[in-house]
C-alpha cells in the first residue's frame, strides 16, 4: 500500500513539473531605442509567446518611475496614445509589442537610454506570474533589435 502511495506522489510531482514547464511565458527580442539627453520618456518593445491563455497585466523597471502598456494609433492623421490595462495572450500565438502599435512606455526616465546599454524589465502575467527580461538599448530610430539587423534602419516618416 505504501509503495502505491509513493508511486502516486511521484506521478503527481512529475505531472506538476510538466505543467509548470508548459506554462512558462517566452519573452524574446526585448529592445528599446536610445533617448536624447533630456527625454523624460522612452519606449521598449518585445515579443511574447505563452503556451496557455494568459494576460500581461503590469510592468516595472528601475530605469523609469513607471512602465506602462500603451497603444499608439493614427486617427484622421493624428497620432493618439492611450494606456492599456493589459494585453491578452492566446495560447501559442506571438504577440509583438512594436513601434507604431502596442508598446511599453517608460515614463520618468531616471537617465537617458544609451546604445549598447541594457536594463531589466519585469513583466507581470495574470497566470504565469512575474518574468524578468533584459532590454537591449539600440540606436535612435532603430526599427528592431540588433538580432533582426534592423538597428540602422531610419525611422519611417509619420512615426
- Helix (H), strand (E) at residue 109: strand 102-109
Closest CA to 89 of 9, 144, 149, 23: 23
Judge whether 132 and 153 are in contact, CB under 8 Å.
no
Residue the block writes with cell 546604445: 115
pTM for this predicted structure? 0.77
Residues 29, 46: Cα–Cα separation, whole Å? 5
Domains of the chain are: 24-146 (2.60.40.1890)
Query: Which pLDDT tens digit goes with each residue over 30-87?
Result: 999 999 989 999 999 999 999 999 999 999 999 999 999 999 988 899 989 999 999 9
Amino acid at each position: 500500500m505504501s509503495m502505491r502511495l509513493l508511486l502516486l506522489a511521484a506521478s503527481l510531482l512529475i505531472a506538476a513539473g510538466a505543467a509548470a514547464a508548459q506554462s512558462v511565458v517566452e519573452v524574446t527580442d526585448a529592445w528599446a531605442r536610445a533617448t536624447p539627453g533630456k527625454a523624460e520618456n522612452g519606449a521598449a518593445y518585445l515579443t511574447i509567446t505563452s503556451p496557455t491563455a494568459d494576460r500581461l497585466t503590469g510592468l516595472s523597471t528601475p530605469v523609469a518611475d513607471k512602465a506602462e502598456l500603451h497603444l499608439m494609433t493614427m486617427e484622421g492623421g493624428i497620432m493618439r496614445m492611450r494606456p492599456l490595462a493589459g494585453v491578452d495572450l492566446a495560447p501559442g500565438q506571438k504577440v509583438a509589442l512594436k513601434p507604431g502599435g502596442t508598446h511599453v512606455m517608460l515614463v520618468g526616465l531616471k537617465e537617458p537610454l544609451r546604445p549598447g546599454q541594457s536594463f531589466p524589465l519585469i513583466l507581470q502575467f495574470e497566470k504565469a506570474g512575474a518574468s524578468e527580461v533584459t532590454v537591449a538599448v539600440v540606436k535612435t530610430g532603430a526599427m528592431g533589435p540588433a538580432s533582426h539587423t534592423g538597428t540602422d534602419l531610419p525611422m519611417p516618416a509619420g512615426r
